[in-house]
Amino acid sequence: MDFLTLIQVLDSSMRMATPLLLACLAGLFSERAGIFDIGLEGKMLMAAFFSAAVASITGDVWLGLGAGILSSLALSGLHGLASITFRGNQLISGVALNFLASGLTVLIAQSWFQQGGRTPSLMTAGRFNGIELPFAIGPSDAEAAGRPLTEMIKEASMVQQLYSELISGHSILVYVSLLAVPITWWVLFRTRFGLRLRAVGENPAAVDTAGISVRGLRFAAVGICGLLCGIAGAYLATGLQAGFVKEMTSGRGYIALAALIFAKWRPWHALGACLLFGLLQAVALRFQSIQLGGFTIPVQVMDALPYILTVVILAGFVGKAIPPRAGGEPYVKER
C-alpha cells in the first residue's frame, strides 16, 4: 500500500466517521441527562429522508438540512413525551421510533416520488459539496489545467497529497462535526447548563432539590440530541450520498451507540471511537478481504468488529464502561 492509498483510505474514514460522530455526540447529550436513546438510527433515517426530499423539491440543500433537523426533532419530542412526560420505558420507545422511521420514510417516499421508496438523485445545488481549502488541489485547479484531478494529485508532493486529499475537499458538515466535539466538551464540562445536565443524569433528585426543572433539562438534552441526529441524517443523504434510499442508515445509529459506550460517554473519546469505526467501514468498503501474512480476514469480520469491540468493552475486560447512574430511569417527583 503506497502513501496515496493510505491517505485515500483515511479520507474515506473521515467521511464515514462524520455521521457516526454526530449521532454519537447526540447520544452523549441524551444519555448524560439520563435518557437512554436507542432511537438514534430512526432519527437519522427520518432526517436523511426529509433532507433529501426537501432538497430535491426546492433545490436548496440548506432548506433540506432544516427539514431534516425538524423531522428528527419531532421524533425526539415523541421520545421525550414517552420517556419524560409519561415515564414510559425509554428502550421500548427507542425501538418504536426506529420502526416508525423505517416505515414512514418508505411510505412517504413512495407517495411523493413513486420511485420505490427513494428520492430522486440530487443535483449539485441539492447537495453539500466539498469545500476547497486555500492552496489545495481541487476540481477547479484540475479544470483550469485541463487535466484529470487524480493525475494532478498523484504528481503532487506528499504534504500536498495529505492536505488536498485528507484535510481539504470535505463538505461543510464534516468540519461542523469535528467542531462539535470541542463544543460538546465545553458545554458539558465548562458551563452551568452542562453541569446541571450531567447532574440530572446522575442524581435527578438532587437537581430537583436545588429548584431546577428535571423535565426541562431532560427535554433540552433530548432536543440537542434531535438536532445533532438531524445533521447526521442530512449529511448521509445530501453529503455522503446524493439522495435517500430505503434503510440508508444501515445500522449507523447502532454503531454510534457502540462508539458512545466505547468512549465511555466522553466527547474526545467519542471522536477517537468514531474515527476508529469509520476507518473499519472505509477499509471494509475498499478492500473486500485483507491478507495478513498468509491469513485472510474476511470482510464480515470488519463489519462485525465495532460490535465485538463494544461487547468486549461492556464486559469490562478493557476498563469498565459505567453509564450515567440515573440512565434509563424516569424521574418521579416527590410530593
- Please report whether residue 171 would count as binding another protein according to CB under 8 A: no
Nearer of residues 102 and 121 to another protein, judged by Cβ: 102
- Identify which range of 44-52, 171-179, 190-198, 297-305 contacts another protein by CB under 8 A: 297-305
Q: Which of 76, 161, 177, 310 binds another protein (CB under 8 A)?
A: 310
CA diameter of the chain: 75
- Please report whether residue 303 would count as binding another protein according to CB under 8 A: yes
Q: Say which residues have a Cβ less than 8 Å from residue 46's Cβ, sequence separation at least 6.
A: 68, 71, 72, 74, 75, 101, 104, 105, 233
Q: Say which residues have a Cβ less than 8 Å from residue 132's Cβ, sequence separation at least 6.
A: 138, 139, 140, 168, 169
The mark string for 35-74 relative to another protein (x by CB under 8 A, - otherwise) is ---x------------------------------------
Task: With CA atoms as reference, report the closest residue to 51 among 249, 224, 199.
Answer: 249
For the bound state, the minimum distance from the C-beta of residue 64 to another protein, rounded and expressed in Å, comes to 21
Q: Say which residues have a Cβ less than 8 Å from residue 150's Cβ, sequence separation at least 6.
A: none
For the bound state, the minimum distance from the C-beta of residue 252 to another protein, rounded and expressed in Å, comes to 11
d(CA 36, CA 221): 11
- Please report whether residue 332 would count as binding another protein according to CB under 8 A: no
- Please report whether residue 290 would count as binding another protein according to CB under 8 A: no
Cα 47 to chain centroid, rounded: 11
d(CA 101, CA 237): 15
Residues 227-266 that bind another protein (CB under 8 A): 251, 254, 257-258, 261
- Please report whether residue 96 would count as binding another protein according to CB under 8 A: yes
**Position 89: which residue type?**
N
d(CA 171, CA 127): 9
- Please report whether residue 102 would count as binding another protein according to CB under 8 A: yes
- Please report whether residue 323 would count as binding another protein according to CB under 8 A: yes
The mark string for 104-143 relative to another protein (x by CB under 8 A, - otherwise) is x-xxx-xx--x--x--------------------------
- Please report whether residue 291 would count as binding another protein according to CB under 8 A: no
- Please report whether residue 16 would count as binding another protein according to CB under 8 A: no
Do the beta carbons of residue 274 and residue 16 sit within 8 Å? no
Count of chain residues binding another protein (CB under 8 A)? 47
CB atoms within 10 A of CB 53: 24
d(CA 25, CA 270): 7
For the bound state, the minimum distance from the C-beta of residue 204 to another protein, rounded and expressed in Å, comes to 18
Q: Which of 57, 70, 100, 290 binds another protein (CB under 8 A)?
A: 100
CA atoms 75, 79, 81, 82: torsion sign: positive
Residues that bind another protein (CB under 8 A): 38, 78, 81-83, 86-93, 95-100, 102-104, 106-108, 110-111, 114, 117, 251, 254, 257-258, 261, 298, 300-301, 303-304, 307-308, 310-311, 314-316, 323
